[in-house]
Amino acid sequence: MTNDAVVARNVWRTYGADDAAVVALRGADLTVARGEIVAVTGPSGSGKTTLLNCLAGLDAADDGAIEVLGTDVRALDYEDAVEWRRQNVAIMFQAVGLLPYLTARENVEIALRLRGVDRSSRRSATAEALARVGLADHADHRPSELSGGQQQRVAIARVLAQPPKLLIADEPTGQLDSDTTLVVLDELRSAVKDHDLTIVMTTHDPTSTAFADRAVRLAGGLVLDEDAGA
Ligand code: ADP
Ligand code: MG
């Protein structure tokens, strides 16, 4: 038993085979304590997205041990992984992934509906979360009527409306200007404090890296300095 949110050991992931094989992860290690915010940095192609996908059970590691919130992620079958994520994990992809025919409000609300939150709680939590990311007056806009940064804020409002145990986020502030980045990071920090949220996020952004409790660096599929402080 461990009180860590994430314990990944010696994780390997190879794409393709033979001459075309790309080793995306070559023995990556990562430990994240509950309530910690960890930034995963490293150059493009270093394996950051692959590592997040393996932690979330969205991609299957070839070797290694991955325990997330006490669950052996590699042992979950597809349906169990879907249910486990629904109950425990929020995921923000680089491509924000809002539903195009739904408004900002509906995009936040649907995540709550999937978790069985009742209608009036959904309404109030959604309105509050959109206000916290500065989008109260954009609630009725569809993604095509929002900038990339505003879409990213809708995805963050989804997390704030009902914080999961673990947020796995691929460049969550990548499309935000520096003022908005600070607003969003502050809101995520509040969710960590109030809801015991844990965050693992990749980032290229020095503001987000400095904001994290700890930064780790990936290079060539290996986590280089897991113990280094941010
Ligand atoms: P990062 O997120 O740090 O930019 P990725 O995890 O996306 O890195 O990619 C790591 C390596 O794995 C890269 O060389 C990339 O081209 C390769 N890769 C990632 N996903 C796939 C895939 N689905 N098929 C083949 N190669 C992939
Ligand atoms: Mg990536």
Asked if the model's pLDDT at residue 229 lies above 50, the reply is no
d(CA 64, CA 24): 14
Write down the domain spans for the chain: 4-228
Domain 4-228 coded CATH 2.60.40.10: no
Residue nearest to atom 13 of ligand 1 (CA): 45
What pLDDT shows up at residue 118?
94
Residues, beta carbon < 5 Å, ion ligand 2 = 48-49
Region 192-207 average pLDDT? 93
pLDDT tens-digit map of 2-40 = 689 999 999 999 999 888 899 999 999 999 999 999 999
- 48 Cβ below 6 A of ligand 1: yes
Instruction: Please say if the pLDDT value at position 230 is more than 60.
Output: no
Backbone φ, ψ for residue 79 (5° rounding): -70, -40
Mean pLDDT, residues 112-134: 94
- Quickly count: other Cβ atoms within 10 Å of residue 200's Cβ: 26
CA of 71 to the centre of ligand 2 (A): 24
**The pairing of beta strand 37-41 with beta strand 198-202:** parallel
pLDDT at 3: 82
When the pLDDT of each residue in the chain is averaged and rounded to a whole number, the result is: 92
- 29's enclosing H/E stretch is strand 22-33
CA dist 210 and 189 (Å) reads 13
For ligand 2, the distance from its centroid to the CA atom of residue 50, given in whole angstroms, is 7
* Nearest Cα residue to 7 out of 223, 229, 230, 228: 223
What is the model's pLDDT at position 178? 87
The conformation of residue 190, written as its DSSP 8-state character, comes to H
Rounded to two decimals, the pTM is: 0.91
Ligand 1 in reach of 41 Cβ (< 6 A): no
Comparison of pLDDT for 194 and 226, the residue scoring more: 194
Please choose from 50, 51, 222 the residue to mutate so as to test ligand 1's pocket, defined by most ligand atoms within 8 A of CB: 50
160 alpha carbon, distance to own chain's centre: 12
Is 174 a pocket residue for ligand 1 (Cβ < 6 Å)? no
Residue to probe by mutation, ligand 1, list 49, 171, 200, most atoms within 8 Å of CB: 49
Is 46 close to ligand 1, i.e. is its CB under 6 Å away? yes
pLDDT tens digits for range 39-67: 999 999 999 999 999 999 999 999 999 99
pLDDT in tens, 130-140: 999 999 999 99
Starting from the CA of residue 94, give the closest ligand: 2
Q: What is the pLDDT of residues 138-163, one digit of tens each?
A: 999 999 999 989 999 999 999 999 99
pLDDT at 226 over 70: no
The H or E element containing residue 110 is: helix 104-114
CA distance to 101, 129, 149, 166, 183, per residue, from 162 (Å): 22, 9, 21, 11, 18
Q: Give the pLDDT score at 115.
A: 83
